[in-house]
Amino acid sequence: MHVQINTDHHVELTEAFATYVRGTLEERLSWYQDHITRVEVHLSDQSGHKITPNDKRCVMELRLEGLPPLSAHKQAATYRGAIDGAGDKLSRMVQRKVRKLRDREFRAVPLSHAEVPAA
């Protein structure tokens, strides 16, 4: 899983901060890493250097093999809150998408071809 982190000019991306972002994604998406080709994270400060509530924004775009991208966003008072919130949303979206795909594949198998154990 490739993680790309983009920031606006108001956000200083340190190595420790990048490690936090990657760790958050790996923790939440570990079950699906084999199916994820790329995750883009966009961090921005909506109000620049002014102090306003919930002005930190995180947008995450995830690409699953052979499917259109999924995206989630969250605004919060801190970058960690925005990253955690967007990561949670994205994790739930991936779970739902993978579950739907598995259900669809299961229903596509005709009953005549299903393996039935011998009695």
Q: CA 94: distance to chain centroid?
A: 7
Q: Are 33 and 49 in contact (CB under 8 A)?
A: no
Q: Which CATH code for domain 2-103?
A: 3.30.160.100
Q: Where are the beta strands (DSSP E) in the chain?
A: 2-7, 36-45, 56-64, 70-76
Q: Are 74 and 58 in contact (CB under 8 A)?
A: yes
CA 22 – CA 25 distance, rounded (Å):
5
Q: Going residue by residue through the chain (119 aa), what tens digit of pLDDT does each one get? A: 899 999 998 888 899 999 999 999 999 999 888 889 999 999 999 877 777 788 899 999 999 988 999 999 999 999 999 999 999 999 999 999 988 888 877 665 555 555 555 55
3-state secondary structure of 89: helix
CA 60 – CA 102 distance, rounded (Å):
24
CA 73 – CA 60 distance, rounded (Å):
6
- The token pair at 96 is 């739902």
pTM comes to 0.80
CA 18 – CA 60 distance, rounded (Å):
14
